[in-house]
Structure formats: C-alpha cells, structure tokens
Chain A
Amino acid sequence: MSTDNGLKVVDLWVKVENKEILKGVNIHVPKGELHVLMGPNGAGKSTLAMTLAGYPKYKIVNGDILLDGESIKDLPPEERARKGLAVLLQHPPELEGVRVVELLNKLIERYGSNTSPQELLQKVGLSPSMLYRYFNVGFSGGERKRLELARILAMKPKIVVMDEPDSGVDIESLKYIAKNIEDMIVNNIGVLVITHYRNILRYITPKRVHIMVDGKIVLSGGPELVERVEKEGYSGVVKRA
C-alpha cells in the first residue's frame, strides 16, 4: 500500500482573518483507520476541519492537502467532496424549505449510492417521519449530528473528518455515531474524529491519537494517549513529550 493512501496534511499553515491559526500541521489518515485529534480549546482543531472542507474564508498560506496522493488544496469545496472527502460540521446550518428527503435523494443520485433516504435515516436511528422536515430546522443537537452522518453516508466518501461529533449530544446519539464510525472503518473508510470532550472515546478505539496545541500536532501515539490526557491534562502530556 502506498504511503500516499488516504488523507495527508503536509506542513499546513492557515490564516483566519489575517491571524495565523495553523502553524505547520502534519497528519496522515490512511483509509480504513480511525484517528482522533484532541487538543484544548483554541488549538485550531475546528480550523483544520473547515480548511479541509474548503471554507473560503480560511486562507492556506503554506503546505498541502493530499487525497490519495493528489493535491486538493486549490479545489473548491464541491470538488473535494466529489473526490471523496466529507466533513461533518460542528455547527451545520438550518436549510429552511429544503426537505431532508429531497437533499438525501439528490446526494444519492449524485454519488450513485445504492441506498434510500429511509435506509440512511434508519442507519443513524432517526425516525422516517423526519424525511419530510426541513434540513436541520428544529433538530436537537443529537439529531443534527445524526443527520450529518446520514448525508455523509449518502456521499460514499473515502475519508471522513468529523468535527466534534460528540458535542451537545445525548447518549443514544453518541452510540449511533460510534456504531457508524465502526462500520466506516470496516468499509475501508479513513476517519478522523476531532474531539474536545472525549465522550465518544468511551465507545470507539482509535488506531492513532494526535494532540494539537497552538496550531501544531505536538504529539502522536496510540490509544493510550487518551488515558494520559485524562490523567495529566494537555499541559502535562505535552510537557513530558
């Protein structure tokens, strides 16, 4: 297997409103592996997720983003998605007037997914009655994350980046999210979970854990890193590194 397999972030520097937020991020998530990115508030985790998604306000000043060896850093968001990179947003907006069933059908058609909107909702444990609601409108925190998951499944991605899938969600939602992450790994999808709360780590075991502080990955290791962070806090872990 080539070392270019999956998502590769190479020495990535990003400015937000002229302020440097990411200062040389390196990370490699091969397909079929689960990686977790942790770090204190303000470390730049969400900036990384939004930059990967192609958010136009975040400017890449240096470095590269590779998907299966191909640079995607200059591509618009829609082309990144079409090439197989899907990002679960931390705060997906409401789409008034756009029905769940309509948007899921469009995605299924676009990506040639062999599934139906009903099945997708079933996989994430949402009731079929939600098909006729407007996308995210009036959805609870947990329902929103589950719908994000459903639309990502419709996109048949190679790599999925999840920005805090466990924030503001109930236990049931958390279990559905964890189950779907496991399924993704089985289906050879590479998953990078960004988390601040660590709730989700009670249900899934990552292959690699990365710690981000002040715009850089300062430490990478196995799942045992999670426990060390629990005990020593970020500053303790980083100091000993």
Chain B
Amino acid sequence: MHESQIIKYYAEEISKKLKEPEWALRLRLKAAELYEKVPSPPWMPKDFDLEAFASKAASEEFVKPGEGEIPEWYRKILERIGVPEIEQSMLAGVTVMVNENIVFEAQKKDLERRGVILKSMDEAVREHEDIVKSFLHKVQTPDTHKLAALHVALRRGGTFVYVPKGVKVPFPAQAFFVITKEQLAQTEHTLIIADEKSSLHFIEGCIVPIPAPYSMHLGGSEFYALKGARLRVSSLQNWMGNVIHTPVKGALVEEGARLEELGVSMGGTIIGMRPRIRLVGEKARVSFNNVAMLKKEMKSWSGGSVTMEAPRTYANVVNRTVMLDNSFDEFLGEIYVKRGAKEVKGYQACNTLMLSDVAVNITIPKLISEVSDAELAHEGTVGKIGEEQVFYLRQMGFDEHEATQLLTIGFIDPLVEDLPSDYVRAIREIVKMTLGAS
C-alpha cells in the first residue's frame, strides 16, 4: 500500500470515530494525499514507522489515570520542583483527561460566563462548525512538510478556544495534557481564536516532568489574533524519557493585533519545532520567545518563520538555548518581508549558552526582503558562562556550581519572567535539577 493510502485509511477511521462533518474529513484526505508530495522536515525520525504511528493515533483510547497511578519517585520530583498549584490539582485527579488539554474546572466556568467558548477540539468540530471551519488548518497547513501533513490527516483531541469580540480575559487560562504509558502517538490540535479587540493569555502544556516511554508527540496549534486583539500563548513541555516532540504550529496576526508567544522546552530526545507566523494586517506585531534546555543526546531543530505581509508590521524573535553534554541544536530563523509591506521592523536573536565542550550549535539566519525600506536584524551569540561573572559570585561566597546555576537561570529569566510566578519558580528548579545537585 502507498503511504498516502495508509494514512487515508486511518484518517477515515478517526473521522468516523469522531462523527465529523464531511468538510473535516476532506481536510484529512487532502493532507493524506499531500504526504507523499511534500518534503520531510530535517527532524523526521530516521526509522519512522508510518503504519505503526497512524494505527496508534487512530486506535488509542483516552483514559483517566487512577488515583494511585502517580509513582512515588515521581511525586518526589514534583515536590522538589514545587508544582504550580493548578498542576497539583490536576495531578490529584480533579480534572484529568489524558491526551486532551484540560482546563481547570473553576476557570472553565469563569471563562464560560464571559462568553469564551472552550471545548475539546473534537467537540468543537462538530458543534461550532461555523467558526472552526474557517480557521482549522488555515495557518497550520499540511503542505509545509510530511509531519505537518500527517498531523492534519490524523488530528485527534486537543483544545478549542474562542474569545468573542471585545472580551478581555483578565487571568491566564491554563490547560494541560498528560500521557500515560499506554499512549505512544499523539496528534492533538490546539486552535485559539482571539476575535477583534479581545485579549487572552493561554498557558498550555505542563512544566512538571511528564514521564513517558518512547512516544511521538505530533501535536499542532493555530493561534489567530484578529483585528486589534492581544493574544499571549505560553507553551511549556518537559517530557521525561524517550519522547519525540515535533509540534506543527502556525499563527496569524491581523491589523493592529498583537501576538506574544513563549515556548519553553525542557525535555524529550528530539525536538522539531519551527512555527510559521504570518503578519497580515497593518501594524500587526509578534513577539516570539523560545527557551530550551538541551542535555544528553537531545537533538533540536529550533527557530521559526515570520512572514511580514503588511505595512508597519513588527516582529521580534528571541531564542535562548542552554546546551549540555552531547546535545545538538540547529536554529533557522527566517523573516520574510513581502512586496508592499512598507516600513516593517524585524529583529531576531539566537543566544546559546554552552555548558559543554562537545555540544554542537548551528545558527542560520535568513532575512529576505522584497521591499527596500525594511529594517531587519539578526544577532547570534554562542558563549560559555562568563569567567568574570563566576568569579564575582564566588568572591561573594557561592561555589562554582552555585554560580553556574545562578547565571544559567539568569540567562533564561528575561524570557520567562512574565509567566505566573509559580511557573517561573518551577522552571528555575528544573534548570537546577538539570545542572545536577549542588
């Protein structure tokens, strides 16, 4: 059987299981066909078993872990990190649904009162066709590469958020996902739409280490900031174990709207994530920050692509990576200014902190402009911890290890400081644990 046929088979199975409307199935089938035509991303697993992945994604059932299913050693880690309160309640089994983004119940009610639609993605496709149909896979498209096509074809689970016009959500909405040992293939999709002049901060993922055996996480997300909206999305992941984390992400920002995206990656073995962000309206702004901590044999393909399609748009992309052991990172940062996009400003920075002599970092800036007056800049730095700073801290009484910890946390801090404080604390503890006991 051809690859596309294999995918089609499972795509139909999923669509049927979810009782999807016809248009949703057509999206899947089109993506299945594209799979054979589009290139592989550089992070495509070498021994990727398409049939095994597709059948897992189609057949696995979502389960709730029982009360006593959190092992003792894992609880100890959680205690040390100081789990954000909201994640604690999740672990206590209050609102856990595996393989789906879950929102804290109390928050859910508050959001609903404000008119925010918050549903599982699968439900939304059935129940909010009118909205979903015009956004789903419009900015996260299947033609990017094979894994993007595969995600679209096998999409299952995930979260749908719609903030109506003018509604401003005053607290960060937080959603989580978990996988248990039974689940090896994940394809959940997060679709967030901030309608005109609305505002939302959405935190997704999980900063507590998520134990998982070999598995592949091929989630996807799409963020839409419509005219004048302000959307912040913070995505956190800290997989423990042999996890391939290759989410496919896209975002679109309209006139006068603002998107602030933060990604924090602390775990996994292969990370492939290059979001595609389109600024389509005048004065649309995006700030995309990414923090990664790579250790052992981890391989990461980071960066992203921002397309500036309208005048006076603004993009600011900052990547900060801490590299240990034998890790590898290739950053590809692309800013593409389209004809007609006058007076745009695009800035990107890739800063790498090397805590190993054998880790490998490659930084590739790509600034393309079709107009003459674009202001584009790239800054790339690769460096060790400053000797002067280490000495300064040592002569205050901190030993070398403590000094390295403090400075490594300091390297990351400017990008994560705006998160709720318990998340910042948890991230710091994870950095400390990764650098080893003092």
Contacts and interface: CB of A to CB of B under 8 A. Distances in A.
Given A93-B388, A97-B412, A97-B413, A87 B397 contact: no
Contacts of B396: 78, 81, 103, 107, 151, 155
B407 interface: yes
Nearest to A56: B391
Interface string B396-414: 1111100000110111111
A142 interface: no
Nearest to A111: B397
Contact of B395 (A81, A103, A110, A111): A81
B407 A98 contact: yes
B40 interface: no
B394 interface: yes
A76 interface: yes
Contact of B409 (A78, A89, A97, A151): A97
A73 interface: no
Given A78-B398, A107-B397, A151-B396, A93 B411 contact: no
Contacts of A96: 410-411, 414
A82 interface: yes
B74 interface: no
B414 A82 contact: no
Contacts of A80: 395
A95 interface: yes
B399 A78 contact: yes
Interface residues of A, number: 28
Given A95-B407, A97-B411, A155 B389 contact: no
Interface string B410-432: 11111000000000000000000
B62 interface: no
Contacts of A56: 391
Interface in A70-97: 76-78, 80-82, 86-87, 89, 92-93, 95-97
Nearest to A91: B388
B392 A78 contact: no
Majority secondary structure of chain B interface residues (helix, strand, loop or mixed): helix
A224 B412 CA distance: 52
B395 A97 contact: no
A55 interface: yes
Nearest to B408: A97
Given A82-B397, A107-B397, A151-B396, A95 B389 contact: yes
A195 B350 CA distance: 42
A38 to B, nearest CB: 23
A22 interface: no
Contacts of B412: 97
A134 to B, nearest CB: 8
A97 B410 contact: yes
A92 B392 contact: yes
Contacts of B399: 76, 78
B410 A98 contact: yes
A77 B411 CA distance: 23
A110 B397 contact: yes
Contact of A77 (B389, B391, B409, B414): B391
A100 interface: no
B395 A53 contact: yes
A54 interface: yes
Contacts of B411: 96-97
B68 interface: no
A95 B400 CA distance: 15
Interface in A45-66: 53-56
Residue picked from B391, B392, B395, B412, most chain A C-beta under 10 Å: B395
Nearest to B403: A78
B403 to A, nearest CB: 8
B86 to A, nearest CB: 24
Contacts of B410: 95-98, 134
Contacts of B436: none
A56 B413 CA distance: 28
A93 B394 contact: no
Interface string B239-283: 000000000000000000000000000000000000000000000
Contacts of B397: 78, 81-82, 107, 110-111, 155
A82 B398 CA distance: 9
A176 B322 CA distance: 40
Residue picked from B391, B393, B396, B411, most chain A C-beta under 10 Å: B396
Contacts of A93: 386, 388-389, 392
Contacts of B391: 53, 55-56, 77
Contacts of A92: 392
A169 B394 CA distance: 25
22 contacts: A54-B394, A54-B395, A55-B395, A77-B394, A78-B395, A78-B398, A80-B395, A81-B397, A89-B395, A95-B393, A95-B406, A95-B407, A96-B411, A97-B410, A97-B411, A97-B414, A98-B410, A99-B413, A110-B397, A110-B398, A151-B396, A155-B397
Interface of B: 386, 388-389, 391-400, 406-407, 409-414
Interface of A: 53-56, 76-78, 80-82, 86-87, 89, 92-93, 95-99, 103, 106-107, 110-111, 134, 151, 155
What are the nearest 8 A-B pairs in CB distance? Answer: A97-B410, A81-B397, A97-B413, A77-B394, A77-B395, A98-B410, A53-B395, A93-B388
